[in-house]
Structure 1
Amino acid sequence: MTTAADIMHPGAQWIPATETLDRAAQLMRRLDVGALPVSDSNERMCGILTDRDIVVGCVAHGQDPSRMTAGDLVHGTPRWIDADAGIDEILEEMRSHQIRRLPVIENKRLVGMISEADLAHHLSESQIASFVESVYA
């Protein structure tokens, strides 16, 4: 069985909720990613920050990204998947919450991230079509 650990992009990295958005953007650039899981003071995931969040939620409102933090922009219940989860569980989690990126957790540690591109390498054409239809509908 193919698992989340098989599909994920390994080496995902947390960013603390107290980190400024300019630093978050710099880390995204260095890691060549468009999203970072955000952790609270107890190193528990409290959300995901995307490059779009920074632009739309901060810059477009005339806010200063060196003064606004990752915690200022994250909201809602963060979603994640266990490293041992199978394809069906991954797809259901992403479909039901209409999300495009999913952190992968193993032993309460962030071990990777699954993106649409990662799925595309491991799914059949019909699975990809069904996923896209449900997430973008």
Structure 2
Amino acid sequence: MSCGHPHETARDVMSTGVDCIPAHETLDRAAQMMRDDDVGALPVCGPDDRVTGIITDRDIVVKCVAAGHDPARMTAGELATGLVWIPAEATVEEALARMEEHQIKRLPVMDGHRIVGMISEADLAMHLPDDQLAEFVHRVYAKS
């Protein structure tokens, strides 16, 4: 799949200003941060400020609330899933491939050990031609 501009990088298409939730914070706090930032996912950071995983609004609902756990007691670190990320200088094509391979809709963008942004479907919608966006969405939502 070829992308819009051939020299665009992950840094070019990502959203900036990503807040990281500390692993020790509770899921009710994570939900409040998601609401305040108008996002559906947050990277989870350890005590050294390194990203250790990511949590989504769906994770909170399905893996905490629906499972009978208390979001005021369960921590972001307990719920965080494995971290899939892309270097800031990677091509958009590489980012799309990573998202398709792992069937994820949000991809943290890293510069060294620091998170500098996040690529979401909305970001891709602003940068990809409609046919390429449709192909990406089909591949990410396809069941293996």
TM-score (structure 2 length as normaliser)? 0.89
Q: Give the aligned partner of residue 18 of structure 2.
A: 12
Question: Does residue 14 of structure 2 align to residue 33 of structure 1?
Answer: no
**What SS does the corresponding residue of 2:24 show, helix, strand or coil?**
coil
**What SS does the corresponding residue of 2:117 show, helix, strand or coil?**
strand
Q: Give the aligned partner of residue 65 of structure 2.
A: 59
Question: Does residue 53 of structure 2 align to residue 47 of structure 1?
Answer: yes
CA distance in 1 between counterparts of 2:94 and 2:31 reads 31
Please list every run of at least 4 consecutive aligned residues from structure 1 whose deviation after the TM superposition is greater than 4 angstroms: none
Q: Deviation at 1:81?
A: 0.9
Instruction: Assess if the C-alpha contact under 8 Å between 1:83 and 1:106 holds in 2.
Output: yes
Instruction: Assess if the C-alpha contact under 8 Å between 1:11 and 1:112 holds in 2.
Output: yes
The one-letter amino acid of 1:3's match is T
- Listed as ranges, the gaps of 5+ residues in structure 1 are none
CA RMSD of aligned residues (A): 1.1
Q: Deviation at 1:40?
A: 2.0
Q: Deviation at 1:75?
A: 3.0
TM-score (structure 1 length as normaliser)? 0.93
The one-letter amino acid of 2:99's match is M
Question: Does residue 135 of structure 2 align to residue 126 of structure 1?
Answer: no
**What SS does the corresponding residue of 1:10 show, helix, strand or coil?**
coil
